[in-house]
Structure 1
């Protein structure tokens, strides 16, 4: 099992360009919002806590519901090994009737996977691949999905960061909500993620920006404003530090809407 990318997206974009992956399977878990998920020619209504699955070469897209102001979801793309393909065939059968109904425990699994996949700690990345395969086996076996043990403070901190992606980072407000000292939390967070809280928060913003650049035609200045950067130039400079290229070049290389 190899995880290609995992992220959390919260956006008001109405439609995400239809696309397919040549070698990757993909999960989407809806944290908040309603709309339609189209996979090949089938269209399924989705709502909060829905889990959807796409296989390689299956064209799929999200369309946000008309009464829904924002759609928030986790996504994870992965490539199983040859030995795991039998399990993937069984997984396909689980979704023959459409999306599955998830729960809070399932959301905790995707939160853990997103955190570990984007960690600077290589061991966390390896554990994410094992956790994802265990999750798939749970689905195939029909058993209850239970999240792996996580430190409550780190989990709550990451949840706070995701809720406030459209604002600037407020470290004092975060530790006040957690009810612990700043020095203790800073040390704890680095231990669990391999990076300081502010850097992790900025990484969440950049993951959202990458997704919007690839999947939507939202102008760069609007993305910068939605993610609370001081201006487009500040956003472009920070984006280049994370992605290696400016936003417009990233969109030209990886955007699917013009494909």
Structure 2
């Protein structure tokens, strides 16, 4: 049997709160070597390079072998054990951060299927090796590791998309895509026609799915989003009303003031003072 070994790196501090590497490495396990049962406080992906073992989560057990990845979410009770005759060798990466949940939701793993057979084991192995080889304690090392992590996640996302049947998007997915478009483009001179075009539906269909899923029309959502962003800028207090208007996609200051007053009950010029005088019953809805 090949020699047992472990090479690993653990990060004790992060400059990147959006996405950060918790740990990474490569290991050839001893026969029957196990971790758990226990929980992690981060997302964890293993790629089996050779051999095999079992992964237990949610009271169920999966056999995992070469070319397969297994995935654990934070706070799940898990255990993984190397086979007695053919113990596995694997690479892994653990990650967390503010956007980790959103990224994890787009990977080819579910609670019912936490194991995935990759179409490109060599590419996945190289991606994980790049993360580990970029390890270090300097900010530039962390930036490189996170960059390679994004590339690894992107490769998994491609396999997620490839594994899905080519069916029409659900109404909720249209809405999510439209909301993303609005959040990235609200400061520009966009129309609802632009939003509908960005997600590949007609304006009337977009209206119907918004009313069904959000309870308001797309134009009302766009306007509300812009006004709430304007409130943040007004509270910061370092921009004029005209500058705030342009910053959130209103290129007519007087029209902005009318829309703002209709939404918030006071004109933007009085908003900050009105906030200061309001009873302390919670933050303004954003």
TM-score by length of 2: 0.44
Structure whose alpha-carbon radius of gyration is higher: 2
Higher helix share: 1
